Structure 1
């Protein structure tokens, strides 16, 4: 699909050869956009990357950040709020009220994951053909409404069915928004935005814990339990955020209809992606699919994300909360103390983002290495289990160092697949998709509810996944550097 706005009447090359065409309303002067992300850097860019950019580009990025990053962050906040609320509800009365004393929590998580897995890749393929500003908000509205229906469930089977459809609706959001973010930002900007976006999931986990504490005080009001009030509250928070997406989500540069951008700003957006080598939409063909699936890109990046996503069981499972419950802590403590781990995740995510974009000049592997090493230390301690209580608290907190890698992995994928829009969408979707395929069944094996909180199979598996994550990160680094050398030689020839 073409841009809805009238395009410049001359190409960049034509403008260079014809001075009379250089100042049309829809054209971008060379001073409006930085030619390379490393041009004219000062100390200010280490604080925020827009400070050193030309005024026109800075104004454009201010608008883009204010709208896209706000929508992405709030959307991921409500997605994660709705994703983890079942864990907080379970440890706050739902287990006893509905008689869930087997592995029902595992099955609830699996049903959500199956729905999520089924929807991800088809959704990301759809986003290369239709307007994201319609598809993504529509799915947000659906999952917000379905969350309300969880309050009416009386059996585990009813919850399983609803969790499946909630997962199906939520499947569009994270890989879809990562694709959109990668369609607007350049290399020196991408990790910060991807990681800020991802960090809102941790905020959702924190808020869910505090909402559960507040909702528990409503236990019995109008005949509803406290955990049911949690679902009501989640939906009330989610719906307005979901609906706002119809009016503000900017799609991708070549088809954007965003009312808050001028024609010149859209031209700047397109020029930025041209300088970055970021390809526009193109048809899916047999040749393109053959190229995608014969490349190392999709296989190594998917494996990296699988190891990351499934290697954070100390966070994704209610391990900390169930240990606190086994130790006799109150409902308030069970919901509040795990939020400390989430706060650590937010802080470390931001540290990874800033150091990756600035200190390490766009390198993604150093933070992945550091994160993996900290997780190895944490999960070795939890594997031993019979350790001092203080060390056990420390180990659960150290698990928070793991979740910030997601944004870096996605940023790395955007950069590696920058010259093929459809490959980029498919790879990003596949990374999340395959990770959740593994997550659909792995908890039933290693995170069984009946083995909580010591999880004799879960914690050792996290050690192995951390080692594999580090190993594949180094492999990707080697393959990407080799590919760039080969491409440079081909250009010279």
Structure 2
């Protein structure tokens, strides 16, 4: 063994103290296809139950309120805000752009900070900030006020999604990761559905307390968000090597650390010139970021289904119908996202590319049809609704990035941050060109762009799969050093059999 490898092994052993209960299961039982913890040792099962109750619950609730507070502007717009404030040009585009600019500015700095400070304080504090700012939207009576507040809401919200993806990737292993990432991401679809139903309900509050119905939406969103933000200070852990949450024992913390060592996922370290050079000369940051840009910009964030219903004259839809019917799109998103997660983790044994290709093909069918526009009414509704099948790929793309970048914690944080960051850089300007409000509801340029973006997503997904296989082949051939290969068999060999629990059936 080279001195470099020996030093790396010693460093990992120091960062991740020995644990006593990690189970490797060569032959999976059928219950693991339902939920992965059913096929693990009792100690590891208890650990994962606690982590899910804390991390997954807070992540899902936090993303729910984040997306609820992000998407509410669309529901308010089609529920009277447009007419009350005279927004007949591209003001909705400008509001969305102001939010996106703030989001873009904050993402990468926030993810870099998470490698240096404690996430359990930073993320809940930002949630609390955007909650207060969301409630302030109810007092706005001019578009310029919305622009300013939406910018700062975007700045605060930029911390959450890439930050929580980084934390999830710091605690879960390959066979657990996609399910958690995708369950986390489904919260956006549930929030979009809930916002539609909520707007349909609170619209009737118009006039009470001097507020219009759409203003009540911002107030109630803030009321829902506040306790969830405060919960984060209690349950959110840090990353394993510095975490000591009240609900984990010392042995469970050590077990968490050992699990990450076996996964080849490295602990936090300094940003050095050599590390930055390695990151920016690798294909990881470029191809993974390009794939996420194409996914995230296939749709423009416009309430296209709502605007189509609002513009309809035969029949004329009520405010409740305009807000409720489009929630079917998000129901499809939630369902397909969970199908993608379980299929990828369980049936495909960690392969991420097949569901991504499926979602991209679904986008192409729906957006190409809507670009034609003169299609049967039933097929148009089908395309509006089934476009949700392409919304749920974010968790898979992030899970894939965590696995590809597992050897370097700082690369993983930077790549995850860059994926989300640059996706929203495009989202800051692209909708101003191809998803202009004045083109509603027939967004021909937008639907064509969504089709092209989905084709590019397929190409970048194929490139990622080829390059990952090539890189893995080089490592197996010994052309790359053994440090951080992520091979479970080699990891168990290095740790010694005394740290692995094997049951009587050899599982």
TM-score, with structure 1 as normaliser:
0.93
Is the 2:72–2:218 contact (alpha carbons within 8 Å) kept by the matching residues of 1?
yes
Correspondence 1:74 to 2:74: no
**RMSD of aligned residue pairs (Cα, Å):** 1.5
What does residue 6 of structure 1 align with? none
Alignment of 1:147-166 (within 5 A): 147-166=134-153
Runs of 4+ in 1 over 3 A off after TM superposition: 10-14
Q: Does 1:34 align with 2:26?
A: no
Q: CA deviation at 1:40?
A: 3.5
Match of residue 391 from structure 1: 379
Distance 2:468 2:18 in 1: 34
C-alpha displacement of 1:39: 2.9
Pick aligned residue for 2:270 from 259, 278, 283 = 283
How far off its partner does 1:214 sit? 1.1
| 1:268 counterpart = 2:255 | yes
- Written as runs of structure 1 = structure 2, the 5 A alignment for 1:155-234 is 155-234=142-221
Residue matched to 2:93: 106
Q: Is the 8 A contact 2:18 2:258 kept in 1?
A: no
Q: Structure 2 CA distance, aligned partners of 1:54 and 1:91?
A: 52
How far apart are the structure 2 equivalents of 1:162 and 1:28?
Answer: 48
Q: Distance in 1 between matches of 2:358 and 2:385?
A: 16
For residue 309 of structure 1, what is the aligned residue in structure 2? 296
User: Where does residue 396 of structure 2 map in the other structure?
Assistant: 408
Q: Does 1:460 align with 2:448?
A: yes
Q: Which residue of the partner structure matches residue 343 of structure 1?
A: 331
| Equivalent residue runs for 1:307-456 within 5 Å | 307-313=294-300, 316-327=301-312, 328-456=316-444
The answer to whether the Cα contact below 8 Å between 1:312 and 1:402 also exists between their aligned partners in 2 is: no
8 Å contact from structure 2 (residues 103, 157) kept in 1: yes
Residue 5 of structure 1 corresponds to none
**Within the alignment, does 1:135 sit opposite 2:122 as a pair?**
yes
Task: Find the aligned partners of 1:152 and 1:370 in 2 and give their Cα distance.
Answer: 44
Distance across 1 between alignment mates of 2:133 and 2:27: 50
CA contact 1:73–1:197 (8 Å) conserved in 2: yes
Residue 84 in structure 1 maps to residue 71 in structure 2: yes
State the Cα deviation string for residues 32-85 of structure 1 (Å, max 9, x = none): 1124xx533111100000001000000000000011000000000000000000
CA shift for structure 1 position 317: 1.6
Check the 8 A contact 2:299/2:446 in 1, yes or no: no
Q: List per-residue Cα deviations over 1:382-403 (Å, max 9, x = no partner).
A: 0110111111100001101011
Is the CA contact 1:40–1:52 (under 8 Å) kept in the aligned structure 2? no
In the alignment, what sits opposite 2:222?
Answer: 235
Work out whether 1:126 is the aligned partner of 2:126.
Answer: no
Q: 1:53 aligns with which of 22, 40, 43?
A: 40
Compute the displacement of 1:13 (Å).
Answer: 8.3
Distance 2:287 2:273 in 1: 22
**Which of the numbers 457, 462, 466 marks the counterpart of 1:469?**
457
The Cα of 1:11 is off from its aligned counterpart by: 10
Deviation for aligned residue 1:176? 0.2
Q: Is the 8 A contact 1:380 1:459 kept in 2?
A: yes
Change (3 A) 1:218 1:351: same
Q: For residues 485 and 33 of structure 1, what CA distance do their matches in structure 2 show?
A: 27
Task: Tell me, yes or no, if the aligned pair for 1:312 and 1:399 is still in contact at 8 Å.
Answer: no
Greater relative contact order, per chain length (Cα 8 Å cut-off, separation 6+): 2
| TM norm structure 2 | 0.90
Q: Deviations over 1:256-304 (max 9, x none)?
A: 1310000000011001000000000000001100000000000000000
| CA distance in structure 1 between the aligned counterparts of 2:265 and 2:440, rounded to whole angstroms | 46
Q: 1:219 offset after TM fit, Å?
A: 0.6
**C-alpha displacement of 1:360:** 0.8
Tell me, in whole angstroms, the C-alpha distance in 1 between the residues paired with 2:117 and 2:228: 21
**How many Å apart are 1:27 and its aligned residue?**
4.4
1:406 Cα deviation from its structure 2 partner: 0.3
Residue matched to 1:22: none
Measure the CA separation in 2 of the matches of 1:12 and 1:355.
32
Deviation at 1:492, TM superposition (A): 8.4
Q: Distance in 1 between matches of 2:11 and 2:459?
A: 45
Task: Say which SS state the counterpart of residue 39 (structure 2) adopts.
Answer: coil
Partner of 1:7: none
Cα displacement (A) at 1:12: 10
1:145 alignment partner in structure 2:
132
**Structure 1, gaps ≥5 residues long:** 1-9, 15-25
- Displacement, 1:487? 1.2
- Cα distance in 2 for partners of 1:28, 1:163 equals 47
Q: Output one character per residue of 1:289-348: Cα deviation in whole Å (capped at 9) or x when no partner.
A: 0000000000000000000000134xx320000000001311001100110000000000
Q: Check the 8 A contact 2:114/2:163 in 1, yes or no.
A: yes
CA deviation profile, 1:131-185 (whole Å, cap 9, x unmatched): 0000000000000000111011110000000000000000000000000000000
Residue deviations 1:226-278 (CA, integer Å, cap 9, x gap): 00000000000001000110111011101113100000000110010000000
Give aligned pairs, total: 467
Q: Distance in 2 between matches of 1:481 and 1:267?
A: 32
For residue 222 of structure 1, report the CA deviation from its aligned partner: 1.2
